[in-house]
Homo-oligomer: A and B are copies of this chain.
Amino acid sequence: MPKSPANTARSKRAGSQLTPDAIIEASLRIAARGSEDAFTVRRLGEELGADPTAIYRHFRDKDELLLSVADRTLGEVLDSIPEGLDWKGRIRALADGSLAVALKYPVVGSAMASRTTRRPNEFRVVELILGAVMEAGLEGAEAALHYRMVADSLLAYVGQQAAYFLFDAEARAADESAWTREYRLVDPRAFPNITRLSTELAEVADEQIFEATVGALISAIEKRAETLRGA
């Protein structure tokens, strides 16, 4: 925070009082528009009422800005998790919050799926997951491993959903109609299972899939803890 030592001599122009925070907030506003509005340096300049390249005074490059923006959205996720939940509840709340925030800011969710922000809120998320798996009964290397399983799987899944959300409507429609079109027209002899289940395949809802995936992760932790208790 000790970046802008004195705010004397401000407001020469309306929107162009540039600070890292202002840039992050403008980024979030653009990101929230999803596929409507590309998240580019030039667009960010417009949003800030400043020259696009002014951003480089406050962030080394676009990647570093994105990392900071991502950490901010992680804060939103953390704030959405209620107090007093047991370990399963906390993991579920984290999962739901992550998905919601990733879909709210799809560019961020999609770009950060394979990254580590190494910033404050990421530490808080790590601490939360570790606390959950330890409460479940895991410790040491087992706790570390299952933390990574939950974190990586969740991030990957949520990032994938965000990336999908980022497509323009046309490309998305083509992908979605596959289940009700292409998959209904396959050769029944070559693809008997697809033929048999084509209706059911088209009816699976995204929420069910996410719920099943998160459930699988929680069960895996539970099962491992039981096995270790037994030994």
* A interface residues (Cβ-Cβ under 8 A, vs B): 63, 110, 113-116, 118, 123-124, 126-127, 130-131, 134, 140-141, 143-149, 152-153, 155-157, 159-161, 163-164, 171, 174-175, 178, 182-183, 186, 190-194, 197, 200-201, 203-204, 208-209, 212-213, 215-217, 219-220, 223
Given A127-B193, A145-B208, 16 other A-B residues pairs in contact with their CB atoms under 8 A: A113-B160, A114-B160, A114-B161, A126-B194, A127-B191, A130-B193, A140-B197, A141-B200, A141-B204, A145-B204, A148-B201, A148-B204, A149-B216, A155-B160, A156-B159, A216-B217
Tell me if B114 and A144 are in contact (CB < 8 A): no
**Residues in B neighbouring A113, C-beta threshold 8 A:** 156, 160, 163
Tell me if B197 and A143 are in contact (CB < 8 A): yes
Per the bound structure, the CA–CA distance linking A152 and B163 in Å amounts to 13
Contact flag A148-B209 (CB < 8 Å), given A140-B197, A171-B63? yes
24 A-B pairs whose Cβ atoms sit less than 8 Å apart in the complex: A114-B161, A123-B183, A123-B190, A126-B183, A127-B190, A127-B193, A127-B194, A140-B200, A141-B204, A144-B200, A144-B201, A146-B212, A147-B201, A148-B204, A148-B208, A149-B216, A152-B160, A152-B209, A153-B213, A153-B216, A155-B160, A156-B157, A216-B216, A216-B219
**Residues in B neighbouring A146, C-beta threshold 8 A:** 212
**Residues in B neighbouring A183, C-beta threshold 8 A:** 123, 126
**Residues in B neighbouring A201, C-beta threshold 8 A:** 144, 147-148
Smallest distance from the beta carbon of A59 to chain B beta carbons, Å? 15
Per the bound structure, the CA–CA distance linking A148 and B127 in Å amounts to 30
**Residues in B neighbouring A130, C-beta threshold 8 A:** 193-194, 197
**Residues in B neighbouring A145, C-beta threshold 8 A:** 204, 208-209, 212
Query: Which residue of B has the minimal Cβ distance to A134?
Result: B193
Query: Which residue of B has the minimal Cβ distance to A193?
Result: B130
Contact flag A144-B194 (CB < 8 Å), given A149-B209, A178-B116? no
Smallest distance from the beta carbon of A168 to chain B beta carbons, Å? 11
Partner among B124, B160, B197 whose Cβ is within 8 Å of the Cβ of A159:
B160
Smallest distance from the beta carbon of A169 to chain B beta carbons, Å? 15
